[in-house]
Structure 1
């Protein structure tokens, strides 16, 4: 059975950790982080390294809310 791509987020998920998949030239690209905003067709996602990713809504093929990342070994 083929994978099912679903966009299961809305602008109401601002502030939550999400995972996304979007179309790019030559394939797809994934990003995981905190949804900072979703305005005028652009999602802004803050990755754990602090990078801000802007995703055009029209390129989004899958997205969902995911749990917080588990703590890294040695961190409390």
Structure 2
């Protein structure tokens, strides 16, 4: 992913990055170096939107108990 710098020194943050960080018009971002001297873009408000995996937590329902799994895998009537 790349972008060009304008004559005013401005760049457009690609849509994928804006979506990942949850950026909206008017929000402030910070550019900084990390310990590997890579440039990091982060929201100034410090909020980190949930990852795509965090968004899935709780969507599978409560699931089976350990005893129910044991009965199912053993194929017998496991005592309760």
What range describes the TM-score normalised by the shorter chain of this pair?
Answer: under 0.3
Taking structure 2 as the reference length, the TM-score comes to 0.23
Considering Cα pairs closer than 8 Å and 6+ residues apart, tell me whether 1 or 2 has the greater RCO. Answer: 1
Q: Could you tell me the TM-score, scaled by structure 1's length?
A: 0.24
Between Structure 1 and Structure 2, which shows a larger proportion of helix residues? 2
